[in-house]
Amino acid sequence: MADSLATLCRVGALILVLGIIFPTSRAMALTSRDASAVVGLIAALQPEYGQFAYDEEIAADWYERDAADKGLIAAAGFTAESWEVALGETVRGFLATIPIAELDPIFGRMKKAVSDMEELSGTQKGETISAIDEQIDSLMVLRAEGRPFVDIVRPLTPKIRSLILDQTIGQK
Protein backbone atom coordinates (compact mmCIF):
# COMPACT_ATOMS: atom_id res chain seq x y z
CA MET A 1 0.00 0.00 0.00
CA ALA A 2 2.85 2.42 0.77
CA ASP A 3 4.33 1.62 -2.65
CA SER A 4 0.96 2.30 -4.28
CA LEU A 5 0.66 5.61 -2.47
CA ALA A 6 4.20 6.59 -3.47
CA THR A 7 3.44 5.66 -7.07
CA LEU A 8 0.23 7.68 -6.98
CA CYS A 9 2.17 10.68 -5.64
CA ARG A 10 4.68 10.34 -8.47
CA VAL A 11 1.82 10.04 -10.97
CA GLY A 12 0.24 13.20 -9.60
CA ALA A 13 3.53 15.07 -9.70
CA LEU A 14 4.17 13.98 -13.28
CA ILE A 15 0.71 15.12 -14.33
CA LEU A 16 1.32 18.49 -12.69
CA VAL A 17 4.71 18.83 -14.34
CA LEU A 18 3.61 17.73 -17.78
CA GLY A 19 -0.04 18.56 -17.99
CA ILE A 20 -0.61 22.27 -17.54
CA ILE A 21 -1.62 24.31 -20.58
CA PHE A 22 0.70 27.21 -21.33
CA PRO A 23 -0.46 30.45 -22.96
CA THR A 24 0.46 30.60 -26.63
CA SER A 25 -0.41 34.16 -27.56
CA ARG A 26 2.87 35.79 -26.52
CA ALA A 27 4.96 37.80 -28.94
CA MET A 28 8.34 36.88 -27.44
CA ALA A 29 10.68 34.39 -29.10
CA LEU A 30 12.82 32.22 -26.86
CA THR A 31 16.56 32.81 -27.12
CA SER A 32 19.30 30.41 -26.05
CA ARG A 33 20.38 33.00 -23.47
CA ASP A 34 16.91 33.13 -21.95
CA ALA A 35 16.50 29.35 -21.98
CA SER A 36 19.89 28.91 -20.30
CA ALA A 37 19.01 31.55 -17.71
CA VAL A 38 15.66 29.85 -17.00
CA VAL A 39 17.34 26.50 -16.43
CA GLY A 40 19.99 28.07 -14.20
CA LEU A 41 17.32 29.86 -12.19
CA ILE A 42 15.29 26.67 -11.72
CA ALA A 43 18.46 24.98 -10.44
CA ALA A 44 19.24 27.89 -8.12
CA LEU A 45 15.73 28.36 -6.73
CA GLN A 46 14.41 24.81 -6.58
CA PRO A 47 16.28 23.86 -3.37
CA GLU A 48 14.54 26.72 -1.56
CA TYR A 49 11.16 26.69 -3.34
CA GLY A 50 10.71 22.95 -3.75
CA GLN A 51 10.40 20.55 -6.66
CA PHE A 52 9.74 22.50 -9.84
CA ALA A 53 6.40 21.91 -11.55
CA TYR A 54 5.34 24.51 -14.08
CA ASP A 55 2.10 26.36 -14.37
CA GLU A 56 1.43 30.09 -14.61
CA GLU A 57 0.67 30.39 -10.91
CA ILE A 58 3.91 28.70 -9.92
CA ALA A 59 5.85 30.88 -12.36
CA ALA A 60 4.28 33.98 -10.84
CA ASP A 61 4.80 32.67 -7.29
CA TRP A 62 8.48 31.96 -7.90
CA TYR A 63 8.93 35.42 -9.41
CA GLU A 64 7.23 37.14 -6.47
CA ARG A 65 9.05 35.08 -3.84
CA ASP A 66 12.40 35.68 -5.52
CA ALA A 67 11.68 39.40 -5.95
CA ALA A 68 11.04 39.65 -2.21
CA ASP A 69 14.22 37.72 -1.41
CA LYS A 70 17.31 37.53 -3.62
CA GLY A 71 16.03 39.02 -6.86
CA LEU A 72 17.84 36.46 -9.02
CA ILE A 73 15.15 36.35 -11.71
CA ALA A 74 15.11 40.13 -12.19
CA ALA A 75 18.91 40.22 -12.06
CA ALA A 76 18.90 37.75 -14.96
CA GLY A 77 16.94 40.34 -16.94
CA PHE A 78 13.40 39.02 -16.62
CA THR A 79 10.23 40.90 -15.79
CA ALA A 80 7.33 38.93 -14.33
CA GLU A 81 5.82 38.57 -17.81
CA SER A 82 9.04 37.74 -19.66
CA TRP A 83 9.90 35.18 -16.96
CA GLU A 84 6.53 33.48 -17.41
CA VAL A 85 6.92 33.41 -21.20
CA ALA A 86 10.53 32.21 -21.22
CA LEU A 87 9.78 29.58 -18.60
CA GLY A 88 6.77 28.31 -20.54
CA GLU A 89 8.62 28.23 -23.85
CA THR A 90 11.60 26.46 -22.28
CA VAL A 91 9.41 23.79 -20.70
CA ARG A 92 7.35 23.31 -23.89
CA GLY A 93 10.57 23.05 -25.91
CA PHE A 94 11.86 20.47 -23.46
CA LEU A 95 8.67 18.45 -23.75
CA ALA A 96 9.02 18.49 -27.53
CA THR A 97 12.49 16.94 -27.23
CA ILE A 98 11.21 13.88 -25.40
CA PRO A 99 10.55 11.06 -27.90
CA ILE A 100 7.06 9.55 -27.90
CA ALA A 101 8.76 6.16 -27.55
CA GLU A 102 10.01 7.34 -24.15
CA LEU A 103 6.72 8.88 -23.06
CA ASP A 104 4.44 5.96 -23.93
CA PRO A 105 5.96 3.59 -21.33
CA ILE A 106 5.76 6.33 -18.69
CA PHE A 107 2.07 6.80 -19.42
CA GLY A 108 1.57 3.05 -19.41
CA ARG A 109 3.20 2.75 -15.97
CA MET A 110 1.04 5.59 -14.67
CA LYS A 111 -2.15 3.89 -15.84
CA LYS A 112 -1.03 0.51 -14.56
CA ALA A 113 -0.22 2.00 -11.16
CA VAL A 114 -3.74 3.35 -10.96
CA SER A 115 -5.26 0.09 -12.19
CA ASP A 116 -3.30 -1.86 -9.57
CA MET A 117 -4.47 0.29 -6.65
CA GLU A 118 -6.68 -1.97 -4.57
CA GLU A 119 -7.96 0.93 -2.49
CA LEU A 120 -9.69 2.49 -5.52
CA SER A 121 -13.02 1.27 -6.86
CA GLY A 122 -13.38 0.42 -10.53
CA THR A 123 -15.18 3.72 -11.08
CA GLN A 124 -12.42 5.67 -9.36
CA LYS A 125 -9.79 3.89 -11.41
CA GLY A 126 -11.67 4.64 -14.62
CA GLU A 127 -12.08 8.30 -13.71
CA THR A 128 -8.41 8.63 -12.77
CA ILE A 129 -7.25 6.95 -15.98
CA SER A 130 -9.58 9.23 -17.97
CA ALA A 131 -8.00 12.23 -16.24
CA ILE A 132 -4.56 10.89 -17.13
CA ASP A 133 -5.68 10.49 -20.75
CA GLU A 134 -6.84 14.12 -20.78
CA GLN A 135 -3.46 15.22 -19.44
CA ILE A 136 -1.71 13.12 -22.07
CA ASP A 137 -3.76 14.88 -24.75
CA SER A 138 -2.76 18.23 -23.25
CA LEU A 139 0.86 17.13 -23.20
CA MET A 140 0.70 16.33 -26.90
CA VAL A 141 -0.54 19.88 -27.53
CA LEU A 142 2.32 21.27 -25.43
CA ARG A 143 4.82 19.16 -27.34
CA ALA A 144 3.48 20.56 -30.62
CA GLU A 145 3.69 24.10 -29.25
CA GLY A 146 7.27 23.40 -28.20
CA ARG A 147 8.54 22.40 -31.64
CA PRO A 148 9.72 25.94 -32.52
CA PHE A 149 11.92 25.90 -29.40
CA VAL A 150 13.49 22.45 -29.77
CA ASP A 151 16.76 23.60 -31.30
CA ILE A 152 17.22 26.21 -28.58
CA VAL A 153 16.32 23.89 -25.72
CA ARG A 154 17.96 20.65 -26.93
CA PRO A 155 21.45 21.48 -25.51
CA LEU A 156 19.79 22.08 -22.12
CA THR A 157 17.74 18.89 -22.15
CA PRO A 158 19.99 16.82 -19.85
CA LYS A 159 19.97 19.55 -17.20
CA ILE A 160 16.21 20.14 -17.50
CA ARG A 161 15.60 16.40 -17.31
CA SER A 162 17.65 16.16 -14.12
CA LEU A 163 15.80 19.10 -12.57
CA ILE A 164 12.19 18.32 -13.35
CA LEU A 165 11.60 14.98 -15.01
CA ASP A 166 13.92 12.39 -13.48
CA GLN A 167 13.07 13.38 -9.90
CA THR A 168 9.37 13.42 -10.65
CA ILE A 169 9.15 9.99 -12.24
CA GLY A 170 11.79 8.43 -10.03
CA GLN A 171 14.44 7.91 -12.71
CA LYS A 172 18.07 8.83 -12.26
Give pLDDT, residue 109: 94
pLDDT tens figures, 108-136: 999 999 999 999 999 999 999 999 999 99
Q: Tell me whether residue 39 is in a domain.
A: no
Mean per-residue pLDDT over the chain, rounded: 85
Assess whether pLDDT exceeds 50 at residue 165. yes
Q: Tell me whether residue 43 is in a domain.
A: no
Q: Tell me whether residue 60 is in a domain.
A: yes
Helical spans, DSSP H, in the chain: 2-18, 32-49, 56-68, 72-75, 80-97, 100-115, 122-146, 150-153, 157-160, 166-169
Q: Stretch 64-73: mean pLDDT, rounded?
A: 96
> Which range of residues forms the domain containing residue 58?
2-16+52-169
Q: Tell me whether residue 24 is in a domain.
A: no
Residues in the chain: 172
pLDDT tens figures, 17-51: 444 434 443 445 899 999 999 999 999 999 999 98
Q: Tell me whether residue 114 is in a domain.
A: yes
Considering its fold, how many domains does the chain have in total?
Answer: 1
Q: Tell me whether residue 41 is in a domain.
A: no
Q: Tell me whether residue 22 is in a domain.
A: no
Q: Tell me whether residue 25 is in a domain.
A: no
